[in-house]
Structure 1
Amino acid sequence: MSTPIKILMILTSHATMGDPSHATGVWFEELSTPYYAFVDAGAQVDLASIAGGKVPVDPHSMAIDGKNPASVERFLSDSHAMKKLESSVKVDQVDVNSYSAVFLPGGHGTMWDLPTSTHLAELLSKAWVGGKVVSAVCHGPAGLVNVDDGYGKPVVAGRRVAAFSNSEEDAVGLSQSVPFMLETRLRELGANYVSGPDFQAFAVRDGNLVTGQNPDSSEAVAKLVLEAVNEAL
């Protein structure tokens, strides 16, 4: 029996948007939809986070039982998956060499702790130089802003990258709450920022870099990740 593909998902540990009364965290569907796309394709999926332990979930990404997206309902009823979410591995304890791909789900929490984690930046740079697939969706690309391509340049420089757009941030009323505008920062780093219509699925692959624009893009990003991983086998 062949060894399964291993994919590492790295999540935010940041639970508030500056104001402690404004809860945030990972956007559940951006975790659950790719998670099951990978699992159903036969991959082993591990969850890590910046601080380790229980991962905060943005309460705005959850509804009452039976009213969530199918992948969220499946995750909530999956004791094995929920245990991973409750006890994620700390990012600085991960050996990325054993994985074929790294995936960064979004949620506004990522805007605070992913860009400031030197351990994450080093892990992703090592993954990139090692020929791994590096991927992210929505606000997850915030984790790419300090990643070096191994030659002293930002990994996003000169590459097509999608992420939550400035106009989408404006539309949800959080442009003044986030520490920076993600689209703007990516452009400043030399990325060829690309996007589709606001709040519609859009994903792009540029070699081993796969990114998506918003929560609706999660499935499309996962498919491109699997495509890239399978090409490398």
Structure 2
Amino acid sequence: MAKVLVVLTNHAQFDTIKKATGLWLSEATHFVNVLFENDIDVDYVSPKGGYVPVDPGSLDATELDAVNQKFYGDAGFRNRALGHSLKPSDVNASDYEAIYFAGGHGTVWDFPKATSLGKLAKAIYDNGGVISAVCHGVVGLLAVDGDDGKKFINDRKLTGFTNEEEAINKLTGDVPFLAEDELKAAGANYSKHEAYTEHVVTDGRLVTGQNPQSAKGVGEAVVKLLNN
């Protein structure tokens, strides 16, 4: 059975305002649900391992659709993904056919610095696997080095959370950087669609999604690559 490594954030609090953050739940659940429907297993890892905070906004009644309720109501998911995620040192890249960086605002603090996760992602890719990410989670690709001294994403087609979407959130001044700007600065061939509409970009064995609405589509694109 194929297996995918799902990366989640450990960062629970904005630095500049009194606001909780963490994983945006649907960006994990909607992706993983697609994998489970295709008999693909997952493990969960985070930069530090252990506890993964969930952004309270992603648990709002308006966000708790059937998929989110199924996962959040499952003790096994809460234990493995949110309570006891793996440390990077616990993980062997050769066990996985793909890696997926889930989003949430917490990721902009810990994903770009998570060089151990960047090395795992590159090893999975070099073994013929897939690198994927969604929304703010795409900043995890900033920790992945290429073979030419540049970032892995240099000159690759991708997407991620937009400046416009951050402005709609009214959080532009409260994040350490804007994902769209940082991805472009790293040399990515960045594209976007209308705010909060699904947009998935596949460039070879790299799959990225713009926002929470794109998590399911990223899962479907990853499954398609794994089945080729």
> Is the shorter-chain TM-score for this pair beyond 0.5, marking a shared fold?
yes
Contact 2:23–2:104 (Cα < 8 Å) also in 1: yes
Q: Give the distance between the partners of 1:154 and 1:67, measured in 2 at CA.
A: 34
- Counterpart of 1:177 in structure 2 is 174
Answer 1 or 2: which has greater strand percent: 1
Q: Give the distance between the partners of 1:19 and 1:176, measured in 2 at CA.
A: 9
Q: 1:157 aligns with which of 146, 154, 158?
A: 154
SS at match of 2:7: strand
Q: Compute the TM-score of the two structures, normalised by the length of structure 2.
A: 0.95
Q: Compute the TM-score of the two structures, normalised by the length of structure 1.
A: 0.93
- Counterpart of 2:77 in structure 1 is 81
Structure 1 position 117 matched with structure 2 position 114: yes
Amino acid of the structure 1 residue aligned with 2:30:
T
Q: Once structures 1 and 2 are overlaid, which stretch shifts more, 39-48 or 17-26?
A: 17-26
Q: Deviations over 1:159-213 (max 9, x none)?
A: 1111001111111111111111111111111111011111001101000100000
Q: Give the distance between the partners of 2:143 and 2:42, measured in 1 at CA.
A: 25
Deviation above 3 Å: which 4+ runs of structure 1? none
Q: 1:106 aligns with which of 103, 107, 111?
A: 103
Contact 1:5–1:100 (Cα < 8 Å) also in 2: yes
Q: Give the distance between the partners of 1:8 and 1:229, measured in 2 at CA.
A: 13
Considering only aligned residues, what root-mean-square deviation do their CA atoms show, in Å?
A: 1.4
Amino acid of the structure 1 residue aligned with 2:47:
I
Structure 1 residue 79: deviation in Å?
2.0
Gaps of 5+ in 2: none
1:26-37 equivalences under 5 Å are 26-37=23-34
Amino acid of the structure 1 residue aligned with 2:111:
L
Q: Give the distance between the partners of 1:210 and 1:220, measured in 2 at CA.
A: 10
Contact 1:10–1:102 (Cα < 8 Å) also in 2: yes
- Counterpart of 2:211 in structure 1 is 214
Q: Once structures 1 and 2 are overlaid, which stretch shifts more, 199-208 or 120-129?
A: 120-129
Q: Give the distance between the partners of 1:102 and 1:150, measured in 2 at CA.
A: 19
SS at match of 1:218: helix
Structure 1 residue 110: deviation in Å?
0.3
Answer 1 or 2: which has greater helix percent: 2
The percent identity for this pair of structures is 37
Q: 1:42 aligns with which of 23, 39, 44?
A: 39
